[in-house]
């Protein structure tokens, strides 16, 4: 069975080469790329400045979709969670993946004026962080560039909004799907593509050190966030098994290298877990770890996941932890909870869904 051609899998240069090999002039790729990312066509038929014959031929050879919308849930706070069906793989196994539309700043009438897209890069996750729902089911698969970018385009088309920011903080470890995620990020950044600046795209990683070294060398057009969650090696290893092979001291060095070369701060994500990493001594260790590191800390209240043995600290504890860090001179922010009631918040994606099944 021939693997289907999805145009969103191709960079501008790759698409030009593909269409040239098909005997089409170079300017046709410019037209199609504009339809894909500027005009956001839903079909080849919509590409009206192409001949009818060409549109019909393209529809026979290629596809504009690698995702099928299965369900959509909307939270009381306006957050929307999308469940996408992936096509069957060579073994006949299907999978699903979730992404989230997050309303941000609101006007005087309470209407959202900015939106953030939270994208996934894998169906499931191999990192198995103990506080995260995504790692509970069996790992499904890596997503293609078309499936990563397609989440954003699909949410825009469904909601009638355009995204100001993208965070790659959904299901999966982006660095564990390195090539496909990089290609998707370059498309989001490409001036002829989605045209988002690197400060408008944030990729979050659990800290795969060898991949991060490559990430810096390849100059991904994004900002970097690292899931830290503890500056105590023993606690972090219990929360994140990856810490055993990618320890905190080596992770610090690669983050230092990134901030020095890119002159951008690293965002350190820190989920507060009751009685685990929310004590004054934890704040002290975090401050010590961040010394001489250009960074900011994003505190996240733990969001409940059935079957996982964690709770969120009290609001008093959360605020005390934040104020402790501020008093130590750190840049610290407390992430607003969004979409908790539909399991769309940080750490909740994927648990409710079976990630693979037979057709």
For the stretch 338-349, what's the b/e string if a residue is b when 16 or more beta carbons lie within 10 angstroms of its beta carbon? Answer: bbbebbbbbbbb
How far apart CA 167 and CA 206 sit, in angstroms, is 14
How far apart CA 62 and CA 182 sit, in angstroms, is 22
Annotated active-site residue in 125, 129, 290, 346: 346
How far apart CA 237 and CA 244 sit, in angstroms, is 6
Annotated active-site residue in 98, 173, 269, 356: 98
Give the tokens for residue 219. Answer: 């100059």
How far apart CA 249 and CA 253 sit, in angstroms, is 7
Residue 316 designated active-site? no
| Helix H or strand E encompassing 61 | helix 52-61
Residue 234 designated active-site? no
By DSSP bridging, strand 201-205 and strand 165-168 are parallel
> Which residues does 280 contact at the CB level (< 8 Å), separation at least 6?
320, 324
Residues with active-site annotation = 98, 346
């Amino acid at each position: 069975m021939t693997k289907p051609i999805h145009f969103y899998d191709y960079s501008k240069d790759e698409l030009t080469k593909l269409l040239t090999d098909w005997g089409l002039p170079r300017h046709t790729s410019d037209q199609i790329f504009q339809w894909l990312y500027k005009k956001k066509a839903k079909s080849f038929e919509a590409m009206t400045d192409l001949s009818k014959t060409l549109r019909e031929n393209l529809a026979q050879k290629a596809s504009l979709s690698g995702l099928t919308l299965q369900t959509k849930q909307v939270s009381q706070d306006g957050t929307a969670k999308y469940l996408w069906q992936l096509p069957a793989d060579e073994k006949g196994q299907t999978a699903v993946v979730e992404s989230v539309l997050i309303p941000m700043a609101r006007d005087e009438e309470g209407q959202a004026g900015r939106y953030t897209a939270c994208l996934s890069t894998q169906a499931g996750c191999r990192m198995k962080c103990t506080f995260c729902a995504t790692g509970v089911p069996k790992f499904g698969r890596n997503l293609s560039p078309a499936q990563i970018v397609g989440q954003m385009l699909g949410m825009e088309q469904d909601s009638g909004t355009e995204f100001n920011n993208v965070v790659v903080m959904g299901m999966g470890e982006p660095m564990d799907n390195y090539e496909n995620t990089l290609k998707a990020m370059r498309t989001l950044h490409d001036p002829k593509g989605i045209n988002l600046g690197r400060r408008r795209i944030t990729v979050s990683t659990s800290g795969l050190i060898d991949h991060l070294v490559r990430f810096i060398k390849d100059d991904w057009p994004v900002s970097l966030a690292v899931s830290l969650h503890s500056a105590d090696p023993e606690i972090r290893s219990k929360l994140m098994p990856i810490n055993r092979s990618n320890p905190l001291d080596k992770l610090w060095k690669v983050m230092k290298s990134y901030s020095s070369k890119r002159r951008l701060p690293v965002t350190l994500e820190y989920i507060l877990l009751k009685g685990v990493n929310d004590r004054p001594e934890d704040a002290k260790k975090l401050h010590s770890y961040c010394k001489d590191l250009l960074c900011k800390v994003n505190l996240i209240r733990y969001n409940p996941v059935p079957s996982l043995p964690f709770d969120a600290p009290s609001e008093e504890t959360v605020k005390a932890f934040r104020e402790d860090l501020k008093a130590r001179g750190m840049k610290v922010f407390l992430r607003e909870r969004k979409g908790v009631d539909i399991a769309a918040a940080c750490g909740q994606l994927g648990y409710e869904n079976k990630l693979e099944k037979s057709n």
